[in-house]
Amino acid sequence: MGTVGAGFSMSLDGFIAGPNDDVQRVFAWMFKGDQDVQVSTGDEALDLKLTSEGIEQRESMEHSIGAILSGRRMFDVSGAWGGKHPLNVPIVVLTHQPPQEWVNKPGSPFTFVTDGIESAVAKAKAIAGDKNIGVGGADITRQCLKLGLLDEIGIDLVPVLLGSGVRLFEHLGIEPIELEIAGVTEDTGVTHLRYRVIK
């Protein structure tokens, strides 16, 4: 059975997006490396510039992730990735109301789950098989954390104080959750931090 891990690019003051869901600054490190890497969504080709550390991280995700679990806002903000996530894996979307244009669409990578986070994680695990699940969206990451469903947290820490936007760890309302440091890698314009959640 694979792990359930959330990964975000985050400012030092804890924001994973600026105002209006703007991720330009927190993703800027992906354009500061010395090697060209092309990734594509269903409707966009992105010319990244990664360092060897960034490429290693990306290749590790490509090999290990078998399904993405997304909150409805991340799905909407990304424009449903034009119908294909950059990692080209199935995506489970947790929502109160599935978007009819994507339900039962032939070739769609999306499975919509409406009966809660535990059910969504179970569905993603069933799809991913032995591979890992990548959780995206701050709200659903917090829900996973609170219920003990998250095994790992990856933070690409960006040296900027954004001041406002979408915070990852706000209103957690939890007892302290201990983490174990699983990796620290210095990179150009970013520090890659990896944590295991101690259960």
Ligand X SMILES: NC(=O)c1ccc[n+]([C@@H]2O[C@H](COP(=O)([O-])OP(=O)(O)OC[C@H]3O[C@@H](n4cnc5c(N)ncnc54)[C@H](OP(=O)(O)O)[C@@H]3O)[C@@H](O)[C@H]2O)c1
In the complex with ligand X, the residue whose CB is nearer, 91 or 128, is 91
- The least distance separating ligand X from the CB of residue 178, rounded to whole angstroms, comes to 23
- The least distance separating ligand X from the CB of residue 136, rounded to whole angstroms, comes to 4
User: What's the chain's Rg over C-alpha atoms?
Assistant: 16
- The least distance separating ligand X from the CB of residue 130, rounded to whole angstroms, comes to 24
Amino acid identity of 6?
A
In the complex with ligand X, the residue whose CB is nearer, 41 or 143, is 143
Query: Could you list the residues that contact ligand X (CB under 6 A)?
Result: 8-9, 16-17, 21, 23, 26, 71-74, 77, 94-97, 114, 116-117, 136-140, 143, 166
In the complex with ligand X, the residue whose CB is nearer, 117 or 150, is 117
In the complex with ligand X, the residue whose CB is nearer, 11 or 51, is 11
Compute the distance between CA of residue 85 and CA of residue 81 in angstroms, rounded to an integer: 5
Query: Residues near 43 by Cβ (< 8 Å), separated by ≥ 6?
Result: 79, 81, 82, 83
- The least distance separating ligand X from the CB of residue 194, rounded to whole angstroms, comes to 14
| Angstrom distances, CA of residue 162 to CA of 18, 20, 39, 168, 186 | 7, 13, 27, 13, 21
Q: Give me the DSSP letters along 5-63.
A: EEEEEEETTSEEE-GGG--TTTTGGGBSSSEEEEEE-SS-EEEEEE-HHHHHHHHHHHH
A 10 A CB-CB count for 60 gives 11
- The least distance separating ligand X from the CB of residue 112, rounded to whole angstroms, comes to 9
In the complex with ligand X, the residue whose CB is nearer, 127 or 155, is 155
- The least distance separating ligand X from the CB of residue 73, rounded to whole angstroms, comes to 3
In the complex with ligand X, the residue whose CB is nearer, 2 or 71, is 71
A 10 A CB-CB count for 108 gives 16
Compute the distance between CA of residue 179 and CA of residue 199 in angstroms, rounded to an integer: 9
Distance from first CA to last CA of the chain, Å, rounded? 17
